[in-house]
Amino acid sequence: MKRISILTIISLGLLSLSMLASARQANTIAEHEPPELSVSFQFEEKTGQALFEGICQGCHMPAGEGAKGAAAYPPLANNPKLAGAAYPVYLVLKGQGGMPAFSRNLNDEQVAEVVNYVRSHFGNQYADKVQATDVAKLR
């Protein structure tokens, strides 16, 4: 219950951030597109672990186990959908449903780092590494 409330607070915070961003961009972003964080905000974390802890674990939980509360956050742990690197890279860049798009808030190296981190932790053992140049192609 405690986790769920923290999660709810974090999600509400992110939600209001993204609502602010979309209000500002109402003219350019269609209604159905996933929420975006403030366009000028850039995360400073550089390692996959720091990025995961700073951004992803608020929704996907510290061991990537996912959660169900105000919304469903799929587990990243033991997730066969991470076998292909393009899928998580695409989701981090573009968002989907309740997952925000981070393309403006993370550079290519940061996206590669955090994707490599989740693909090699939490029971995922995908050895191939994503490079920043791969991320650039999916932007």
Whole-number Å distance between alpha carbons of 41 and 76 = 25
Per CB under 6 A, does 81 bind ligand HEC? Answer: yes
Provide the token pair at 1: 């219950």
Reported as half-sphere exposure (CB side, CA atoms, 13 A), residue 67 has a value of 23
Per CB under 6 A, does 60 bind ligand HEC? Answer: yes
Provide the token pair at 35: 């929420």
Provide the token pair at 78: 């033991």
Per CB under 6 A, does 48 bind ligand HEC? Answer: no
Per CB under 6 A, does 114 bind ligand HEC? Answer: yes
Per CB under 6 A, does 139 bind ligand HEC? Answer: no
Per CB under 6 A, does 74 bind ligand HEC? Answer: yes
Report the interface residues with ligand HEC, using CB under 6 A. Answer: 11, 14, 55-56, 58-60, 71, 73-74, 76, 79, 81, 88, 91-92, 96-100, 102, 114, 118
